[in-house]
Structure 1
Amino acid sequence: MTEQDTTSVDGLTTDIAADNDKTRYAVKPTSRAKPADTALATIEEGMLIKERYLLESKIGSGGMSDIYRATDLFLQKAGVANSTVAIKVLQQQFVDQPEALQLLLQEAHKTQQLSHPNIVRVFDVDCDQQHYFIVMECLDGESLEQVIKRYKPKGLPLKSALKLLQQIADALNFAHQTGIVHADLKPANIMVNRAGEVKVLDFGVSQKLQLNHDIYAAEQQSQTAPLSGYTPAYASPQLLSGNTPCVADDLFSFACLSYELLTSKHPFARLPADKAFEQKKQASKPAHLNILQWQALKQALQFDALQRKSSISKLMRQFNAQLWQHTAVAAAVLVTCWGGWYYYQQNQTILTSYEQRLADTTAEQQQYQKLAEGDVSQLLNVIALAETNPLQRDALLRQQQNKVLMHF
């Protein structure tokens, strides 16, 4: 089940009712409450589960589970330096509901399939005295939501944002290759530890929850909270319409959180995508992006899935391609074109000069032939006017020597 699990952070507590962006579920009242005399022992701090996990503090809650920071005594006794884990326990009111237990097991199974450095690790799933729980990696850091708030109002610098976005993209691409779509990607479901490493949460059954209404989830105190298995502010119009989740939906959510990371603002003022489409909302260009990067992000933010025509990998390639790289390519093309034009002009000049010389030579030959075959008086007049060069003059006089002597 898709829950708000920013809870796996040391000292971080999530207020579910106060934040409308958190995942919500509707519920139908159940009449199968356990009698008071058979009620389970309440999970609380200091409790030992499975004679191994010592619960230290409650660090958050979700729609069906509570999350505790705990110490793995087995690892501690073995001398393991980091023996801290997060324990996700199914809430008591859901213990006798097989479907709720099935969702918890599916979450553990699917997340275990996603063995990736940027996806939270699930170590084990078990039961102790009807307390069903998942043992997870305990994350020491903060949610991406907190990172965004800390960098208001201008957003993260592009270089810093890209370091986080690349890790999120790697996690999503790996999940997609495995055949799992997140369908509830949002800043609150992404953790950043002290080393700057990103961990994506809630991959478990997010796809399944989009296809079936969850009748086993707890009614939230806030009546204004969204009652769906995804977060409307980051869901694509297709998810909001009830369509089967697909990769294009994760792309839309990824583009929304990318925009928010770069600007500290939601691209559509936190309106659900269908409402933003009706109001013809358009995101403005983030100051950190050049025009080519912005075109790629804007395409990923298209409400129509067919118009996105992109992928998370393609979007990241555009983000990482700096403007100077495109400028260098354009400059190289320009230089090549200019070189070709210059070569063409030079060839044209040489060709014109050659043609002119050829024409002059032909004219001289024609004049020579005309004088050689013409009247001697005409020849003498041309020589007298110096209209021939010395070589032609001497040649003509030698050739016409007899005629010239007879003329005089």
Structure 2
Amino acid sequence: MTITDAPSVYRADESGHFGEFGGAELPPFLVEPIAEVARAYEEASQDPEFQAQLQALLARYVGRPSLLYFAENLTNELGGAKIYLKREDLNHTGAHKINHCLGEALLAKRMGKTKVIAETGAGQHGVALATAAALVGLECEIHMGAVDIEKQHPNVVRMQLLGAKVVSVEEGGRTLKEAVDSAFGVYASAPDEYFFAIGSVVGPHPYPSMVRDFQSVVGREARAQILEAEGKLPDVLVAAVGGGSNAMGLFDAFLEDESVRIVGVEPSGEGLEGDRHAATMTLGTPGMLHGMKTKVLQDENGEPSPVHSIASGIDYPGVGPQHAHLEQIGRVEYVTASDAETLDAFQLLTRKEGIIPALESSHALAHVIKLAPTLPKDAIIIANLSGRGDKDVDFVAERIGVA
């Protein structure tokens, strides 16, 4: 599916709105540069040569299709539903982010840009974009909050080894939101030179649709794989939601299947009271953020609130506008998982399956742990294991007291 497909309740209109959410609310000097991206993506999405090049790289470079793995030990441990994991952690660079980064790098090259610039939280988007830029011959600049740089040092080193310039953002909360602001500021100074490679289904049109389309390979593969393995569609899909790219990647292929329950899991952090969480779908209200109308955690003046999550990749005060729309129309339900539940899920999967998950993905696993025992044994859950936990092991070891 692309932004040029026939409109439906699951697609943006010509202005980039999903119902009341989305759009492109931009300062005048960015209107034309972002419109140029929209035009270029529309042309590329209809160009067989561009699509063939992308598909070849996904297969021969990323290693797609990724495995749909039956987690038999975890299933037996929990009782109830059969649990399948979509193993995006097995992709080159260790997460789902490479899917859209290759698409964005190829589009930047097509547009004649010489540099790509982006934000990153946990560093997975930064690593993936630096990888894609190295592959296609572009310079790369990554903005990352100082807090996240400290938590995710191995990914900082990877980005630098790949040739990327890593900018430490010291303003505000020094996490993902500030990284986005910082990167946008540099991009705005030289849009003819840079391509802004947004790392999730957020931002002004066309980014929410474009990133979803690049990530939709996850759901298309999972659909075919589960039909081959089980002869039927899953009963439930589960994925972590920060900005929401890994979730939309899995969900997109199943949106029109009313029999499939779809659940997004966001961080309740240290609790929903106060600001030590990032539960945008649960507690956010409609507002403007980074060029889009969406649900936002915001104060009485409409300014984004401070946020927290144990997982750096999902501590964002907003969410992709399509997620806000899908909640509003009742197609997807959004729940939370706490830091403590996430740590427990991280350890359980590691010990039962020998798979170390990213802390972002562990939010989805935390909900699976609660959900699976409530379902019959012939039910099927697919959880998106959006990334591997190599980047998190030192942080987790410190938290749980492992020497």
Q: Which has the larger radius of gyration?
A: 1
Q: Which has the higher contact order (CA 8 A, sep 6+)?
A: 2
Which structure features the higher share of strand residues? 2
- Alignment TM-score > 0.5, same fold: no
Which range, TM-score by smaller chain? under 0.3
